[in-house]
């Protein structure tokens, strides 16, 4: 089965060559663990290969996202990247002039799914990042509604054969984990000497073997870097 790169070499190694295309993956981790960095790297890898990519930002504004990742040399202002502001309930002055598309998009999860489907119909995207899906939960009072819509969302992504990467906060990811083809966890470990280490671990990868041991990683000026296990003791945050 063919593989596609995540944009992070060490992670591709753990995945025995990369992600299986056309499926949905979950990246979970706490605030500042590097979820957005990884999601952007995944998108930029697609750009490098001439693929069309869709990035839905649900937490950071497009402006701050672009500024933050430019520090790593990642430029989201690229003709093959569609960066969509999907922050739920965004109500600044700009909203007075919201077009139908954005009004629907930011209203609720259902609206967002419809908007994504419209986008997938309009262009042949091959990579999609949703960062973070956690934000969609807050638009819904009922957990069952969220589950139903999440499944619908996966159906849409599946229909258009895109490789999708969802990010999520550590809290309350259950349906996402069951349904995703793969789960990548970004963890923080406190050592007995009070140092903080960062570790990346694959907990699930359907249809493939994988390295299930945690590896150290860090965020450098080049973005996320995953090291070999041997480096664990020497690596700090």
Ligand X SMILES: Nc1ncnc2c1ncn2[C@@H]1O[C@H](COP(=O)(O)OP(=O)(O)O)[C@@H](O)[C@H]1O
Contact positions toward Mg ion, by CB under 5 A?
35-36
Phi and psi at 99, nearest 5°, equal -80, 175
The structure tokens listed for 68 are 């933050």
Contact yes or no for 46/53 (Cβ under 8 A): yes
Question: What, of ligand X, Mg ion, none, does residue 175 touch, CB below 5 to 8 Å by kind?
Answer: none
Question: What, of ligand X, Mg ion, none, does residue 34 touch, CB below 5 to 8 Å by kind?
Answer: ligand X
Distance of closest approach, residue 89 Cβ to ligand X, in angstroms? 20
Distance of closest approach, residue 155 Cβ to ligand X, in angstroms? 26
- Closer residue to Mg ion, CB minimum distance, 6 or 36: 36
End-to-end CA distance of the chain: 35
CA distance 87 to 9: 30
CA distance 136 to 56: 12
Contact yes or no for 173/148 (Cβ under 8 A): no
Question: What, of Mg ion, ligand X, none, does residue 219 touch, CB below 5 to 8 Å by kind?
Answer: ligand X
- Closer residue to ligand X, CB minimum distance, 116 or 224: 224
- Closer residue to ligand X, CB minimum distance, 20 or 83: 83
- Closer residue to ligand X, CB minimum distance, 35 or 87: 35
- Closer residue to Mg ion, CB minimum distance, 28 or 102: 28
Question: What, of Mg ion, ligand X, none, does residue 194 touch, CB below 5 to 8 Å by kind?
Answer: none
Distance of closest approach, residue 184 Cβ to Mg ion, in angstroms? 14
Residue with tokens 């229909």: 159
Name which of 88, 95, 100, 93 is nearest 57 in CA terms: 88
Which residues are near ligand X by CB under 6 A? 29, 31-37, 71, 219-221
Distance of closest approach, residue 69 Cβ to Mg ion, in angstroms? 10
Name which of 127, 167, 168 is nearest 4 in CA terms: 127
């Amino acid at each position: 089965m063919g593989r596609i790169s995540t944009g992070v070499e060490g992670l591709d190694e753990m995945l025995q060559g990369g992600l299986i295309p056309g499926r949905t993956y979950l990246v979970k981790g706490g605030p500042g663990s590097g979820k957005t960095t990884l999601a952007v790297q995944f998108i930029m890898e697609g750009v490098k290969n001439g693929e069309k990519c869709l990035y839905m930002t649900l937490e950071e504004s497009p402006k701050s996202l672009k500024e933050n990742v430019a520090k790593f040399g990642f430029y989201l202002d690229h003709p093959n990247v569609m960066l969509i502001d999907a922050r739920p309930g965004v109500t600044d002055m700009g909203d007075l002039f919201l077009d139908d598309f954005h009004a629907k998009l930011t209203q609720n999860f259902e609206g967002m799914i419809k908007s994504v489907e419209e986008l997938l119909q309009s262009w042949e995207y091959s990579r999609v990042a949703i960062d973070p899906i956690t934000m969609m939960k807050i638009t819904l009072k009922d957990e069952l509604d969220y589950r139903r819509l999440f499944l619908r969302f996966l159906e849409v992504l599946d229909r258009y054969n895109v490789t999708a990467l969802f990010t999520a906060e550590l809290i309350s990811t259950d349906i996402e984990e069951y349904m995703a083809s793969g789960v990548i966890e970004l963890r923080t470990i406190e050592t007995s000497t009070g140092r903080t280490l960062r570790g990346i671990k694959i907990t699930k990868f359907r249809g493939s073997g994988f390295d299930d041991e945690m590896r150290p990683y860090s965020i450098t000026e080049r973005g996320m870097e995953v090291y070999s296990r041997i480096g664990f003791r020497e690596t700090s945050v």
